[in-house]
Structure 1
Amino acid sequence: MGQNGWSVTYTTQSICTLKGSTVDLSCSYTYPSDYTVTTTFWFTKYDAVGPVSLSDDPDYKGRVTYRKDKGNGHTLMITDLRESDSATYKFRFTDQTGKWRYTGDPGVTLSVTGLQVKVTGGHQDKTLTCITTCTLTDNPTYIWYKNGHKVKENTSSLYSDYFSDADSYSYAVKGHDN
């Protein structure tokens, strides 16, 4: 919790999502009624002066949107996620003096993962497993394809089948079918 009426509360503290997707990080903040908040921003890095707003960070150029929500809510949207975006994101705000600043801890830990397939089993009877570097947050639905045709759609990251060398397999996460 904050100090003397200053605080930031994050909706979620940890998110794992797919490379190439879009994510929303949100929080709400409080401050004493005799102050006015003049600056709000999200950051992951510091420079010599202090935290660097993501909207000023060249690594995020054109990929971040800040949105003020109802009350004192604030949402950061990052598009076209990269694995290098994996970091802890924190929200910061400044009052009218420009001197008193408050940074919300612990922030939101974002992990961005790609998709890989692990193949196990015998010569023809094989199991395909979808591998990610973290557990995807939104309980995704996996879509498995055999020779370009959808063969299975469910929440299991495993798929077993009788394989011939002529067959090709692929998979996607629903909503990220490309």
Structure 2
Amino acid sequence: MKMLYLFTLMLSGFAGVLSQSSGWGVNYPNNLICGVRGFSVSIPCSYYYPTSNPNIQVTQKLWCSMNTNTGRCTDPPYVYDSSSNTKSDFEYAGDDKSNCTLLIHNLQSSYSGKYKFRFITNVDSGKWTGEPGVILQVADLKVSLIRLSGNGTLKQGDSLNLMCDVKCTHSSSQFVWSKNNERLPASGPVLHFPALTVRDSGSYTCTWKTNEVSGSKTISLQVEGDFAQWQIWIIVLVIAVMILVIVAAVIYHRRKRVEAQDENSKKSAEKVQVGENTHDKQKKPQQNHVPQLDDETLRREEVTYATVCVKDKKLKQGRVHTEQQKEDDSVIYSTVKNT
């Protein structure tokens, strides 16, 4: 098996020499490309052809996956074909001159494998597939919490490590940590917490970077102090509700007291008004309606009373014909009354 692998490398090197001497070829990265599942990756690539002939032009560019294709990528299927308008996760980021970089979005585990680039020109013999191709490995980025002390929920004083892990070998990888989207000075795959505090609560993100790809994963820490944060919020909420109830009760009581005072003031004013009206009625004497008498009536009354007086004197002088006189008097008074 080892001999076969060495023989393949020798053939690839020999093909590279032939391609350079003939002026046709494709260059790939020497190392495999690592990608994080769910993110994007860039596969660098360059190609060349004889530039001595200015009539040569690239007419078609192709990328194929050896998972679905075989041989020298001369026949479909292709993951990218410049002559097709089909959109997919595979995007060509090169040009028609020398750049054949391929971008792969939304990486899936099934995208792992070997890829080759092929280009076709406007001359009959101007077709070339780059060998040996480039290998892509798609891996998962994981952030793990490793407890060094303490059990159950995280409490102040507990110790732990956050570990960022990618199952992919890459010499130029870099780990960057951030808390609540603010970068931390720490670097490397492990973030150490010797003694947790409440301030250590938050969201921690590990970003894994290479020259071709980057990916990130987030984990949350919730550290409890003397009181759990949710308990503090409950206490604050209960106090706020009690304050609102007390304020509402005070406002309601004041309104009722003001309304009662206004009602008493109205009743007092009504009583005073009624008393004044009664006093005025008692103070004013009742006036009998006496008809006004004209001068003629007054003269008649005077004459009548004068006549009465004369008749009285006659009675004193002699009591003659008493009964007759009474009848006359009755007639006179009745006359006065009728008048």
TM superposition score normalised by structure 1: 0.71
Deviation string, structure 1 residues 150-176 (Cα, Å, up to 9, x no partner): 683533110111358xx6764331775
Q: Specify whether residues 68 and 149 from structure 1 end up closer, same or farther in structure 2 by C-alpha distance, changes over 3 A only.
A: closer
Superposed counterparts of 1:11-90, under 5 Å:
11=29, 13-32=31-50, 36-44=57-65, 45-46=68-69, 50-55=75-80, 62-69=88-95, 71-90=97-116
Q: Specify whether residues 106 and 114 from structure 1 end up closer, same or farther in structure 2 by C-alpha distance, changes over 3 A only.
A: same
**In 2, Cα distance between the equivalents of 1:55 and 1:42?**
5
Structure 2: which 5+ residue stretches go unaligned?
Answer: 1-15, 151-157, 209-213, 218-339
Q: Does 1:127 align with 2:161?
A: yes
Shifted more, 78-87 versus 60-69: the winner is 60-69
Q: Does 1:173 align with 2:182?
A: no
**In 2, Cα distance between the equivalents of 1:22 and 1:142?**
18
Q: How many residues align?
A: 172
Q: Specify whether residues 168 and 152 from structure 1 end up closer, same or farther in structure 2 by C-alpha distance, changes over 3 A only.
A: same
**In 2, Cα distance between the equivalents of 1:73 and 1:151?**
34
**In 1, Cα distance between the equivalents of 2:183 and 2:49?**
54
For 1:143, which of 177, 184, 187 is the aligned residue?
177
TM superposition shift of 1:120: 5.4
Structure 1: which 5+ residue stretches go unaligned?
Answer: none
Contact in 1 for aligned 2:58/2:97 (Cα 8 Å): no
1:84 alignment partner, SS class: helix
Q: Does 1:110 align with 2:144?
A: no
TM superposition shift of 1:27: 1.8
Name the one with the larger strand percent.
1
Partner of 2:187: 155
Contact in 2 for aligned 1:92/1:103 (Cα 8 Å): yes
The one-letter amino acid paired with 1:143 is W
Higher relative contact order (CA 8 A, sep 6+): 1
Q: Specify whether residues 73 and 163 from structure 1 end up closer, same or farther in structure 2 by C-alpha distance, changes over 3 A only.
A: same
Q: Specify whether residues 117 and 24 from structure 1 end up closer, same or farther in structure 2 by C-alpha distance, changes over 3 A only.
A: closer
Name the one with the larger helix percent.
2
TM superposition shift of 1:125: 2.1
2:167 alignment partner, SS class: coil
Contact in 2 for aligned 1:13/1:107 (Cα 8 Å): no
**In 1, Cα distance between the equivalents of 2:69 and 2:105?**
22
Contact in 2 for aligned 1:41/1:93 (Cα 8 Å): yes
Q: Specify whether residues 152 and 30 from structure 1 end up closer, same or farther in structure 2 by C-alpha distance, changes over 3 A only.
A: closer
Q: Specify whether residues 136 and 13 from structure 1 end up closer, same or farther in structure 2 by C-alpha distance, changes over 3 A only.
A: closer
**In 1, Cα distance between the equivalents of 2:103 and 2:37?**
14
2:45 alignment partner, SS class: strand
Q: Which has the larger radius of gyration?
A: 2
Q: Specify whether residues 126 and 61 from structure 1 end up closer, same or farther in structure 2 by C-alpha distance, changes over 3 A only.
A: same
**In 2, Cα distance between the equivalents of 1:88 and 1:177?**
25
Q: Percent identity?
A: 27
**In 1, Cα distance between the equivalents of 2:140 and 2:148?**
23
Aligned CA RMSD, in angstroms, stands at 3.6
